[in-house]
Amino acid sequence: MRRIPLLVIVLLGFASWANPVLADSVCGAGNFSTIVGTSCDIGSLEFTFTGVSSLGGGWTASDLYFTPATNGFSLSFLGGPQSLTANNPNPLGNVTFDELGISFNVTAPQGYDFNGVNVASVGVFSASGIYAFASGGLFAQSTAGGAGSYMLCAFNNCQTISAFYPAATPFSSTASANVIVFDVWAGSGTASWGGSPSTFTMSLDNNVPEPGSSILLGLGLIVVLGCGFMMRKRICRLAPDTAPATALTPAAQK
């Protein structure tokens, strides 16, 4: 009976390894000013929203509405569509900006790694002129990969580009990211964004042992070792205290 607490400790260790502690709260829909700077859970993912960045427009977390989604979240800009026109003498050296983004960290459940990110947006963006840029939803930087679409004009040559690339191997169970809600700027020209929400989601890859399999393996080892220990104790108890008798040699039999 004195060995039972050791078994309990081992089982508790396996349970805590397979079920990591999540944040204290579940992410709820609401103004992003109540969420930035906190940690919360969306499904089995734990997010920590670390800040808001704005260039040119002076926007803050209060200008965003946050909605949880499957493996991610949607961001709606409360300021509506954005558009700017610039006519700077030096289009490449003097640029007018209007952009808003956020940064966050995220942890995957035990047994899963991040292998990519995704952006879903029905936002309409456009650009024209010598030098202009527009985007309505973009992973500007992420250790879990990148995704999004944007339009870039350089010397009146405008192209719409869709980008998606997975995380670099080996994949990780933690990731950091900077996402752009909208981004319009111009040196000489016009850039605009239609104002529709964007949903940013994370892709998972279960390329490591699942928690359930690891628990079963651990329990199996405990049972085998326990049975071996008990069997050894039983054999020792059944064995006589004296050494077994040796066979008599012919000389001894005489």
Q: Are 86 and 52 in contact (CB under 8 A)?
A: no
**How do residues 209-243 score in pLDDT, each as one tens digit?**
545 444 544 545 454 445 454 455 544 444 444 44
**What residues contact residue 254 under an 8 Å CB cut-off, 6+ apart?**
none
Q: Could you read off the pLDDT of 61-96 as tens digits, one per residue? A: 999 999 999 999 999 999 999 999 999 999 888 999
Residue 120 pairs in a beta bridge with 199
pLDDT of residue 228: 52
The domain ranges of the chain are 6-205
Phi, psi (degrees; rounded to nearest 5) at 12: -65, -35
Per-residue HEC secondary structure of 136-154 comes to EEEEEEECCEEEEEEEEEE
